[in-house]
Amino acid sequence: MKEKMSLNGNQIKLIAIIAMTIDHLTWVLFPGTQAVWYVFALHIIGRLTAPIMWFFIAEGCHYTRDPKKYAGRLFLFALISHFAYNFAFGIPFVPLSTGPFNQTSVMWSLAWAVVLIFLCRSEKIPQWGKILAIIVICVISFPSDWSSIAVMCPFFLYAHRGIFKKQALDIVLWSFIYALVYFLFLDKVYGVLQLFTALSIPVLSRYNGERGNWKGMKWLFYMYYPVHLIIIGILRMILHGNISLIF
């Protein structure tokens, strides 16, 4: 029997970068959630990205030697990405100017996910303190892209590290919650679209636990994320003027 092809971390992150680029280009070429099959198909490809990011936040928390430095780096890129993300999609730079949803990039939630993981891992913090931290961090991260889902899913992926069936269930469950909120309160088409994050599970199931030979991938992703968003923003201005592309 032919062995299942394995993928290292660098290869999976490259898949996430490609899927993210396709998704964001689709937003600028076809603004709004257009219920056209080819637009929908391109956005489906983009659903691969978020779960891969969540998964490798959990992996990063496991492997990092310096949690404070790791969290600090993510907060720095969250700050940079805030302006790049909002420029890309035509969202005011001042948070909560247009409501509680999609006010900043997913990097904000991912940075807080790292904080939550290390707070709950500490034996010095009582259980009530950890529960309070979960509530407070979910509120703080709620306005970002993927909202507090991008905090809670990495948190559970870390807790279930090494048990992929449970991790797959984490991705399905938290994506469903996000999809349900979008379906009920924002956009039904886009809500249904979020369920396709499940397509990331076959990709992540092939992860072999290795980083890959090239050590620069993490920096490529950190730099690529805001840079490609700035390019998306320039395209938005050229093609459509100063309009908002998403909710």
9-51 pLDDT, tens digit each = 999 999 999 999 999 999 999 987 677 889 999 999 999 999 9
pLDDT band with cut points at 50, 70 and 90 for residue 238: very high
* pLDDT tens readout for residues 158-183: 999 999 999 999 999 999 999 999 89
Is the confidence at residue 2, as pLDDT, over 50? Answer: no
What secondary structure does DSSP assign to 129-154, as a single string?
HHHHHHHHHHHHHTTBTTTTHHHHHH
Say if residue 205 is exposed, middle or buried (CB neighbours under 10 Å; 0-12, 13-18, 19+): middle
Query: pTM for the complete prediction?
Result: 0.94
Q: Rounded distance, CA 45 to CA 42, Å?
A: 5
| pLDDT per residue as tens digits for the range 191-222 | 899 999 999 999 999 999 999 888 888 788 88
